[in-house]
Amino acid sequence: MKIWTSEHTFNHPWETVAQAAWRKYPNPMNPAVIGTDVLDRKVVDGVLHTHRLVSSKWGFPGWAQRILGNPSVCYASEHSQVDPGMRQMILKTTNLSFCRYIAVDETVSYAPHPQDSEKTLLKQEAVVTVQGIPLHNYVEDLLTNKISLNAGKGRQAIEWVISKFNTEVKDLTSSAVKSTDEIIAQTKKSLDDITETARKSMDDLSTAAKKSFDDIQNLKYVPPRTNQSLPEL
Amino acid sequence: MNSIGENCNELKKQYDSCFLTWFSEKFLKGETNDEMCAPFFKVYQQCVKKAIQEHHIDLKVIEQDHLGTENENKVPPKS
């Protein structure tokens, strides 16, 4: 199991970010998400409850497809609550595809920043559990890295949506500059992480291979038989 | 954003646009009555429920909450 958490401050009031969150898809940063469908939606005690089905196309590497199968579309279930009185929005997402091997539970919350109520604090947590397949630890690392990378893109997407309906040009430029820097840093970090994981796995594999080779060598060494041990006729 | 049912896209677009207006203009301003988009939601729902069946997505899995119940998946015993 891997747990990943992240925080981010948007320089926009909560109301703006909450509206942007509903308009997040489609966006150029997350092309994998191809559909969202509302399955249920109701207002209970002033809180908006929504259940959505999120459909996405994931580009898994070939070896992963051979283990997991290759469904053309993956589905996730998202439950959210928006409380305008408390100025809070929480979204919880669980994968429905690959449930036998992989569980990804993600929680995202948007609330006013405790130090500045005109800003919005995003808190994000993902719990990744992979079991029942080879190299499950490696797959967990891979997925966690992917989530980390996508989170950066998701924040970009929110900014992108806001910039679309924001008329304040000054606000727009400053957030765009900041966001670009951020995505470059995110990408670099994820690449480093992936390289490190791959290197580790390769080391593990070579150690295992060497050990097996040594074992075979030892097996091959059988004391030579001599004719002397045979009874003389 | 598209629906999983291609034929639901137009209905979804109409509902989404109503919802976004309601969310910004009414709900965030303290008006919790959501009747405004109910007719759009109803027709869109009929379409999407059918599409979900056609895509063989098990809605029961989606709707049921297994955690904490006896249906919760257990870790298989180590042999």
Q: What is the pLDDT of residues B37-74, one digit of tens each?
A: 999 999 999 999 999 888 887 655 555 555 666 767 77
- Read off the tokens for A34: 């191809």
Identify whether B59 is part of a domain.
Answer: yes
- The Cα of B64 is separated from the nearest Cα of chain A by a number of Å equal to 11
With pLDDT > 70 as the criterion, what percentage of chain A qualifies? 72
Identify whether B14 is part of a domain.
Answer: yes
Identify whether B22 is part of a domain.
Answer: yes
Is A165 an 8 Å CB contact of chain B? Answer: no
Q: How many residues does chain A have?
A: 233
What pLDDT score does A136 carry?
87
Identify whether B56 is part of a domain.
Answer: yes
Nearest to B62 among A46, A84, A96 (CB): A96
Residue type, A15: E
Domain ranges, residue B58: 6-63
Domains identified in chain B, total number: 1
Is A37 an 8 Å CB contact of chain B? Answer: yes
- Read off the tokens for B47: 């379409």
A97 has a pLDDT exceeding 60: yes
Identify whether B75 is part of a domain.
Answer: no
Residues of chain B neighbouring A82 (CB-CB closer than 8 A)? 27
Give A141's Cβ-side CA count (13 Å radius): 16
Rounded CA-CA distance A142/A154 in Å is 18
Identify whether B31 is part of a domain.
Answer: yes
Instruction: With CB atoms and an 8 Å threshold, state whether A38 touches B41.
Output: yes
Identify whether B41 is part of a domain.
Answer: yes
Residues of chain B neighbouring A53 (CB-CB closer than 8 A)? 4, 52, 57, 62
Identify whether B10 is part of a domain.
Answer: yes
Band the pLDDT of A32: cuts 50, 70, 90.
confident
Rounded CA-CA distance A92/A18 in Å is 15
Bridge-partner residues for A80, per DSSP? A50, A91
